């Protein structure tokens, strides 16, 4: 299997497992990741997803040998590797060790939080191979980095240290080498302990509001968030606080 899936205490881990190819994505890997993402979305007990790679690397992007064989690694509904265009209501966290290149970088861009080892390296290297970063690099990077920095990464195709991306806010946390997954799980456990409905609606507003006009943003936000304030979870959160106990969420 080119992808491992495990779940415990509300947190699922997707591990790209092709270390001999720096976890580059072939057709089988894309299908397996897509299936894993669907499992995360369908399972009410899973609150957060973490995606990482084995063998000291995150993902080197599309497997160019598979590309030459004619394998399609971009799925119709969910995009590259079955994840870059997926509509995921639950938070996703990237735990990056080693290289996150091309489509691998774009997988990280699709996540809500990125944790990276100090020696991790990122690059949208597509132009060096006569390709384009159309799995999210061209459209997400300018929204997540200053435009001039985004242009530099896209147009040069060079590889950059995680520390540079952390300076510009693209990496949430730098950690010692080998500790990216555990740090990502720390984030995941904190999120999984929160109200699932509140987390899901908050993620939705964070994503959709980027395209809202300033004159309409509060009305549109209030329309989406009203369900949270009227929910059983909201009452449970207040009751748990008053009673000095841990809340028991229902997700509704």
| Residues with a known catalytic role | 106, 126
Per the CB < 8 A criterion, the answer to whether 10 and 47 are in contact is yes
DSSP structure string for the chain: --EEEEEETTEEEEEE--GGGTT-B-HHHHHHHHHHHHHHHH-TT--EEEEEESTT-SB--B-HHHHHTT---EETTTEETTTTT----S-EEEEE-SEEETHHHHHHHTSSEEEEETT-EEE--GGGGT---TTTHHHHHHHHS-HHHHHHHHHH---EEHHHHHHTTSSSEEE-TT-HHHHHHHHHHHHHTS-HHHHHHHHHHHHHGGGS-TTTHHHHHHHHHHHHHTSHHHHHHHHHHHHTS-------
Note whether 82 and 75 are within 8 A (CB): yes
CB 62 within 8 A of CB 80: yes
Neighbours of 23 (CB within 10 A): 30
Q: What's the first-to-final CA gap in the chain, in angstroms?
A: 36
């Amino acid at each position: 299997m080119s992808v491992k899936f495990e779940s415990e205490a509300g947190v699922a881990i997707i591990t790209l497992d092709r270390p001999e190819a720096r976890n580059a994505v072939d057709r089988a890997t894309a299908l397996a990741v897509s299936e894993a993402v669907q499992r995360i979305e369908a399972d009410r007990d899973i609150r957060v997803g973490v995606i990482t790679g084995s063998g000291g690397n995150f993902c080197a992007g599309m497997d160019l040998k598979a590309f030459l064989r004619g394998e399609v690694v971009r799925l119709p509904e969910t995009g590259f590797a079955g994840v870059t265009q997926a509509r995921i209501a639950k938070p996703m966290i990237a735990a990056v060790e080693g290289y996150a290149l091309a489509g691998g970088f774009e997988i990280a861009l699709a996540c809500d939080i990125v944790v990276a080892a100090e020696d991790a390296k990122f690059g949208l290297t597509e132009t060096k191979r006569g390709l384009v970063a159309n799995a999210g690099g061209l459209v997400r990077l300018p929204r997540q980095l200053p435009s001039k920095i985004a242009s530099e990464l896209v147009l040069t195709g060079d590889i950059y240290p995680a520390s540079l991306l952390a300076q510009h806010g693209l990496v949430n946390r730098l950690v010692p080498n080998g500790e990216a997954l555990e740090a990502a799980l720390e984030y995941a456990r904190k999120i999984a302990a929160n109200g699932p409905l509140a987390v899901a609606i908050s993620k939705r507003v964070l994503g959709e509001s980027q395209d809202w006009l300033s004159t309409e943003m509060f009305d549109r936000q209030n329309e989406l968030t009203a369900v949270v304030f009227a929910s059983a979870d909201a009452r449970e959160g207040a009751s748990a606080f008053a009673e000095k106990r841990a809340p028991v969420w229902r997700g509704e």
